[in-house]
Amino acid sequence: MSNPQARILALREQLDSYNYQYYVADAPTVPDAEYDRLMRELLALEQAHPELMDPDSPTRKVGGTPVSAFPEVRHALPMLSLDNVFSDDELTAFEKRLMDRLGRTEPLDFCCEPKLDGLAVSLVYEQGRLVQAATRGDGSTGEGITENVRTIKAVPLRLKGQGWPARLEVRGEVYMPRAGFDEMNERARAEGGKIFANPRNAAAGSLRQLDSRITARRPLAFYCYGVGLVEGGPPGDCHFDILQQLKGWGLPVCPEIRRMQGRSGCQAYHDDILARREQLPYEIDGVVYKVDELALQQQLGFVARAPRWATAHKFPAQEQLTRLLHVEFQVGRTGAITPVAKLEPVPVAGVVVSNATLHNADEIARLGVMVGDTVIVRRAGDVIPQVVGVVLERRPAEAQRITFPDHCPVCDAEIERIEGEAVARCTGGLFCAAQRKEAIRHFASRKALDIEGLGTKLVEQLVEQEKVKTPAELFHLDQATLAGLDRMGEKSASNLLAALDKARHTTLPRFLYALGIREVGEATANNLAQHFLTLEAVMQAEVDTLLAVPDVGEIVAKHIYYFFRQPHNQQVVQALVAPREQGGCGLDWPAIEAVAKEAQPLAGQTFVLTGTLSQLSRNDAKAALQALGAKVAGSVSAKTDWVVAGEAAGSKLVKAQELGVAVMDEDGLLALLAEHGWRR
């Protein structure tokens, strides 16, 4: 930059605006790494040109202006920020500065602490009771947020034990644990609520709420890491000891805090915490080293916005800026379509990232992201990298809208997006190559066609070697093909062929369930079969007709409707049921006779099955009871009418006896079924 003055002014203006967005609006527009980079550039320019220094420069200031919606709180002692080191060399320089100032040669003790990524608060306890809580604000004046802080369970409203001073000011970080953050965003994503870019924004946004009931619902936590003004002086000579004392009074202190010696101790602490960063239940952006002895801290004092006796050793940033090159739509194994951002490769927290998830169409709309945009990518914990924001001010003129496809990029079936559901799905379930493994595995599973010996490993081999593309092709496998597979002998090959042969004769409910239509479980499949009686009728049913089936709501009805409208799915179903003489698979099932509602003799009765049945499977018993109108429940309650106890029945039988519920054995069940004309 040829004109340092112009650059300095531009940087100050830019950083002031970023500060406002970060501290006041709780909605930063650039990642911290970008902010830090500009801040360092400004610091270097100001150092090189002291004549251009300005006391109002962002390099001299702490935080942002407090918001007037909250009462003002003057801090008795200013709440400062921390200086940073980013490398080993800078850490060495930090130690050297301290030693030089103190005129010392022997290593100093440091209190080493995780640098929690939340926001700083001051808590005032008078006579052991929490009387005031405030944010850091601009360092000298903060925002009074007492009511909000009272809702945080980790913050004690009263101190424990004894010996606490009449007035004690504690300082620490309010943060949002990772699990709570993920859960909150997941819920918001499903319900269309506000999504936070990271736990720090979530914590700040949750704490600075005008309605403390909102704060109360947010999963906030708190750790303290120091004291402010304390009546009668700090409760200890060393920072570490003071923290132990606070812990004794019932204040939460992070268990990772250690006392270490010298630069090498700090480095060891840094390396250990960095290695465990992803396993910690909260997010941290580095570690903090503080000279432990208070007398030495006093000698060292402060600079403009930070103490000289402490520094933050920052970790590689978890958010970075990069460009969105294009968007690819990937089809998952259950047909979910996920937009994946293809990025200009960028290192994020130690790994080069070139793909990130955009979740779904709602998320693309929420972010307002376009191809060509500068975006914020975030990689934290073991979560896949995500695009969490767009830097609108850097949008190029040629940026392009992202259009969500309406046909599957893999199989060209229609993409179904049900109102109220965030996820769009490929409806080519039986045919789509992306869904093959899952579709075939489900088709063969126990409650579906129950093809014995066709496990997950085998399905994977068959699909990967392209021996089978659809469930129908299973029935055309031959001995030679099967015996040629990994870990398959002649014997297991012929067993599998026999199992396939047996599976040809099934029931309509099993067949419908086996198709793997979204949200069509066993019970729904059974209801569909009883209602429509034939496969053709189910396939032709309109959404309205489907809605008349018990348990079938709008969403399920649409899934069924779309499924059977896909030509490829129709072809596979036809191939499955076509007679073998005509080259089909010859699947068949006994006809279902219409049972009028009033003719359902067990309607209104609830059964629970337990133990092992020897003459029919649990699933068949369940289906038979349901066909007669009975409800089959999973657990025994006062509402249960009958418990069917097979061999080795356990706790459910005990429960039935306790509640006085009638019990029958397998023979009793078979007799009951036979009495109502049930036949296998």
Ligand X SMILES: NC(=O)c1ccc[n+]([C@@H]2O[C@H](COP(=O)([O-])OP(=O)(O)OC[C@H]3O[C@@H](n4cnc5c(N)ncnc54)[C@H](O)[C@@H]3O)[C@@H](O)[C@H]2O)c1
- Catalytic positions, please? 115
Region 605-634 residues binding ligand X, contact defined as CB under 6 A? none
Nearer to ligand X (CB atom), residue 77 or residue 548: 77
- Check the annotation: does 411 bind a ligand: yes
51: exposed, middle or buried (C-beta count within 10 Å: 0-12, 13-18, 19+)?
A: exposed
Q: Contact at 8 Å (CB) between 110 and 291?
A: yes
Region 216-255 residues binding ligand X, contact defined as CB under 6 A? 225
Binder among 115, 510, 558, 652 for ligand X (CB under 6 A): 115
- Check the annotation: does 33 bind a ligand: yes
Q: Around Cβ 73, how many Cβ atoms within 10 Å? A: 20
- Check the annotation: does 153 bind a ligand: no
Nearer to ligand X (CB atom), residue 309 or residue 563: 309
Interacting partner of 622 out of Zn ion, ligand X, none (Cβ under 5 to 8 A depending on kind): none
Nearer to Zn ion (CB atom), residue 410 or residue 645: 410
Binder among 82, 432, 514, 556 for Zn ion (CB under 5 A): 432
**Nearest one of 221, 120, 218 to 177, comparing CA atoms:** 221
Minimum distance from residue 426 beta carbon to Zn ion (Å) = 3
- Check the annotation: does 293 bind a ligand: no
Minimum distance from residue 639 beta carbon to ligand X (Å) = 53
Binder among 98, 120, 539, 575 for ligand X (CB under 6 A): 120
Nearer to Zn ion (CB atom), residue 24 or residue 336: 336
Task: Enumerate the H helices of 68-176 as residue ranges.
Answer: 88-102, 146-150
Minimum distance from residue 413 beta carbon to Zn ion (Å) = 5
Which residues does residue 376 pair with via DSSP β-bridges, in sequence order?
321, 389
The region of 420-428, 502-510, 579-587, 629-637 touching Zn ion under the rule CB under 5 A is 420-428
Nearer to Zn ion (CB atom), residue 160 or residue 333: 333
- Check the annotation: does 408 bind a ligand: yes
Query: In angstroms, what CA-CA distances link 63 with 25, 26, 80, 146?
Result: 12, 12, 9, 20
Task: Enumerate the H helices of 238-379 as residue ranges.
Answer: 239-248, 262-275, 294-300, 361-367
Q: Contact at 8 Å (CB) between 98 and 263?
A: no
Q: Contact at 8 Å (CB) between 148 and 123?
A: no
Nearer to ligand X (CB atom), residue 137 or residue 428: 137
Nearer to ligand X (CB atom), residue 290 or residue 359: 290
Cβ contacts of 596 within 8 Å, gap of 6 or more: none
The region of 144-152, 211-219, 417-425, 430-438 touching Zn ion under the rule CB under 5 A is 430-438
Region 64-93 residues binding ligand X, contact defined as CB under 6 A? 81-82
Nearer to ligand X (CB atom), residue 78 or residue 453: 78
Site string for ligand X, 8-47 (x = CB under 6 A): ----------xx-xx-----x-xxx--xx-----------
Interacting partner of 18 out of ligand X, Zn ion, none (Cβ under 5 to 8 A depending on kind): ligand X
Cβ contacts of 467 within 8 Å, gap of 6 or more: 461, 473, 477, 481, 485
Relative to beta strand 167-175, strand 141-143 is unpaired
- Check the annotation: does 61 bind a ligand: no
Please, what is the angle between helix 554-565 and helix 567-577, to 10°? 80
- Check the annotation: does 117 bind a ligand: no
Which residues does residue 352 pair with via DSSP β-bridges, in sequence order?
347
Interacting partner of 180 out of Zn ion, ligand X, none (Cβ under 5 to 8 A depending on kind): none
463-471 long-range contacts, Cβ below 8 Å, gap at least 24? 463/436, 463/437, 468/436, 468/440, 469/431, 469/433, 469/436, 470/430, 470/431, 470/436, 470/439, 470/440, 470/572, 470/575, 471/430, 471/439, 471/440, 471/443, 471/444, 471/514, 471/572, 471/576
Q: Write b or e for each residue in 95-125: b if 16 or more Cβ atoms lie within 10 A of its Cβ, otherwise e.
A: beebbeeeeeeeebbbbbbbbbbbbbbbbbb
The region of 212-220, 266-274, 408-416, 541-549 touching Zn ion under the rule CB under 5 A is 408-416
What kind and span of H or E run contains 662? strand 662-664
The region of 112-120, 177-185, 210-218, 587-595 touching ligand X under the rule CB under 6 A is 112-120
Nearer to ligand X (CB atom), residue 81 or residue 571: 81
By rule CB under 6 A, what count of residues binds ligand X? 24
Interacting partner of 411 out of ligand X, Zn ion, none (Cβ under 5 to 8 A depending on kind): Zn ion
Q: Does 292 engage in binding with ligand X (CB under 6 A)? A: no
Binder among 230, 411, 482, 608 for Zn ion (CB under 5 A): 411
Site string for ligand X, 303-342 (x = CB under 6 A): ---------x------------------------------
> What whole-number distance in Å separates Cα of residue 536 and Cα of residue 552?
18
> What whole-number distance in Å separates Cα of residue 437 and Cα of residue 441?
6
> What whole-number distance in Å separates Cα of residue 219 and Cα of residue 152?
8
Interacting partner of 432 out of Zn ion, ligand X, none (Cβ under 5 to 8 A depending on kind): Zn ion
> In three state form, how does the secondary structure of 29-77 look?
CCCHHHHHHHHHHHHHHHHHCHHHCCCCCHHHCCCCCCCCCCCEEECCC
Interacting partner of 428 out of ligand X, Zn ion, none (Cβ under 5 to 8 A depending on kind): Zn ion
**Nearest one of 181, 213, 199, 281 to 28, comparing CA atoms:** 199
Q: Which residues bind ligand X (CB under 6 A)?
A: 18-19, 21-22, 28, 30-32, 35-36, 62-63, 81-82, 113, 115-116, 119-120, 136, 173, 225, 288, 312
Which residues carry a binding-site annotation? Answer: 32-36, 81-82, 113, 136, 173, 290, 314, 408, 411, 432
Which residues carry a binding-site annotation for NAD(+)? Answer: 32-36, 81-82, 113, 136, 173, 290, 314
Q: Which residues bind Zn ion (CB under 5 A)?
A: 408, 410-411, 413, 426, 428, 432
